[in-house]
Amino acid sequence: MSKTIGINLGSHIITVYIEGQGIVLREPNAVAVDAHTREVVACGQDAINLFNKTPGAIELISHIYHGNVSDYERMAMVMKKIFEKISVKRPDVIFTVHGGHSSSDISAISTMMMDAGAKRISVVELPGVAVMGAGLPLNNNKALLLCDIGAATTEIGIVKGCATKLSHTIPYGCNLLDEALKNYIKSEFGISVTERTARKIREAVGSVHPDYNAGEYAFIGKDTVTGLPCESVITSDDTREVMVKFADYLVANIKAVIEKLPEQVVKDIKDRGILLTGGGALDGGIGVFLEEKLDIDIKIAENPIECSVKGLGMIIENKALFHPLILELSND
């Protein structure tokens, strides 16, 4: 009998859950490509380690862009390496899909998984899965609004019980914030930094609300004039100037979704609040900011980064119970 595995194909992190074992892999969605042959030589943390050792001969890329796979053939190689790493042959795979995935996207991902060696492919919708993984009661008949802030996209969904009733994807995520911080530092400080450094800055002192102030963070980059290494300090106030613009965009999109909902669903959301999941839920002050702008209670999941894969795990371990949520796409 094939083992079932759950895969959350994040733009920044790929997470894998194995039936009966739990979460067994959580690695950067990084692919090391030979600069000359263009062949995939490593993935995940192995790819980053290889790049750090031989940066001239290796390019570091990702094949998931804005939540979608950009190169299915190479991504199949990545999935094959992941199957090898977790020592599971011919698995039944369940993966999450969001509102931004078209039927052709889902079909292509399914084919890619089959090419990598999967035996059977099924999908579940992200909002319901994330709510399950957050540990909220599944027998509540009132609707809840989920806001899952990922690396490349944000999923705004309406969930009732554990069923997804609406799913809407917007191009807002941690990667955009990191890119904006990187550009801000270049413009205001005259220093070039990597996206990795920008991410460290956001995670350390990033803020979207005046009440959240983590102080200052020392970083190293390259002077844009001399090209020489230099050190500087950035504060939470500096980051807020950049990040609040994106937070306002998020508020506008949540309002747009709520305005189209039936009156009873809006009342339910007022009663139950909004649940934040995904890595962006950890950005400094985001919960307070949304609460003030929307006048709705905000709840941040205890472990927002792993909600999706934990929800997948619940479905995998209780397939008979959650069968109505699973859509089977293909098998051999």
- 169 lies in the same domain as 291: yes
- 98 lies in the same domain as 245: no
- 104 lies in the same domain as 194: no
Strands 120-125 and 92-97: parallel
- 324 lies in the same domain as 275: no
Determine the pLDDT at residue 71. Answer: 67
Contact 146, 301 (CB under 8 A): no
- 283 lies in the same domain as 317: no
If one counts the domains in the chain, the total is: 2
**CATH number for the domain that contains residue 216:** 3.30.420.40
Q: CA of 155: how far to CAs of 48, 140, 197, 330, in Å?
A: 28, 21, 26, 25
- 145 lies in the same domain as 288: yes
Distance in angstroms between the alpha carbons of the first and the last residue of the chain: 14
- 113 lies in the same domain as 179: no
Nearest to 67 by CA among 39, 94, 102: 102
- 284 lies in the same domain as 143: yes
How many CA atoms lie less than 13 Å away from 329 in the CB half-sphere? 24
Report the distance separating Cα 46 and Cα 31, nearest Å. Answer: 9
Record the tokens describing residue 240, joined without a space.
């807020």
- 246 lies in the same domain as 172: yes
**Amino acid, res. 57:** A
Give alpha helix (H) positions in the chain.
45-53, 72-85, 103-116, 126-133, 174-189, 195-205, 236-259, 263-272, 286-294, 307-317
Determine the pLDDT at residue 274. Answer: 97
Tens of pLDDT along the chain (332 residues) come to 578 999 988 777 889 999 999 999 988 888 888 888 888 788 888 888 888 887 678 887 765 655 556 567 777 777 888 888 898 889 999 999 887 677 888 888 888 889 888 999 999 999 999 999 999 988 888 999 999 999 888 999 999 988 899 999 998 899 999 999 999 999 999 999 998 899 999 999 999 999 999 999 999 999 999 999 999 999 999 999 999 999 999 999 999 999 999 999 999 999 999 999 999 999 999 999 999 999 999 999 999 999 999 999 999 999 999 999 998 886 66
Contact 177, 184 (CB under 8 A): no
Determine the pLDDT at residue 65. Answer: 53
- 124 lies in the same domain as 247: no
- 215 lies in the same domain as 280: yes
Q: Which residues make Cβ contacts (< 8 Å) with residue 40, sequence separation at least 6?
A: 31, 32, 33, 74, 77, 78, 81
- 154 lies in the same domain as 105: no
Question: Cβ of 112: how many Cβ atoms within 10 Å?
Answer: 23
Record the tokens describing residue 320, joined without a space.
């008979």
Nearest to 219 by CA among 228, 227, 208, 230: 230
Tell me which residue range forms the domain holding 110: 4-128+307-331
Strands of 22-28's sheet in order across:
22-28, 13-18, 4-9, 92-97, 120-125, 327-331
Q: CA of 87: how far to CAs of 3, 17, 44, 81, 331, in Å?
A: 11, 13, 16, 10, 20
Determine the pLDDT at residue 296. Answer: 97
Report the distance separating Cα 8 and Cα 94, nearest Å. Answer: 9
Phi and psi of 319, rounded to 5°?
-60, -40
